[in-house]
Structure 1
Amino acid sequence: MLTQAGELRGQGLADDVSWASLFWTIGAALAAFCWFLGFLSTRYVDKSEREADRVGNLNMANLYHGIGFWVLLLSLVLFLIGAICIALALGMEVPATAT
């Protein structure tokens, strides 16, 4: 998209592409943040094996694991929204689901 930004701007699609880029950027940042949450979860599992507060550490590991799951899901939704924004901006119809 960046290589075609000038052409898209000339066609009046700059706003739509900007929104898609924003959704994709936030989605990518959240996906990267999932790695950090996974690291924290893993560290608390490690701590549970070395320290006396096993249950507390495992609870923290589960908390970070759960947060990571929802952040990952949000990341995927934002990527999907960005793709739909581009598809709609380029005049493509989003196919209806078969019933």
Structure 2
Amino acid sequence: MTSMLGIYEQYVKTEKLRYLLTYKCSRDHLELFFCFIRARNGWNNTPSPLQFSRSYKRLLLHADVSGSTGNCRVLESTSILSVSIKTPSKSNRFARYQRCKKT
């Protein structure tokens, strides 16, 4: 309990976080986290620091985490350049030919 109060004072009171989800620090969530780490290492109960950091990075990459700020855009809202396959009419081709001929 004392450690939770310390975390609250360090992050919530200094306005680095708006609130603290204490249920995320319960034993069940920690057990699930370490279960995922063990599964990434072939169920090794004592991974080396290098194995742990690699497993942690893999878990972060596969987690669906998206920030509200950053330098990336959602691709679905980006307009795509389209090109028409239609061939120009004969009159347009002739007009372009005449313009090129003059130069």
Pair in the same fold by TM > 0.5: no
TM-score (norm 2): 0.24
Query: Highest Rg: 1 or 2?
Result: 2
Per chain length, whose mean CA-contact separation is higher, i.e. which structure has more relative contact order (CA < 8 Å, sep 6+)?
1
TM-score (norm 1): 0.25
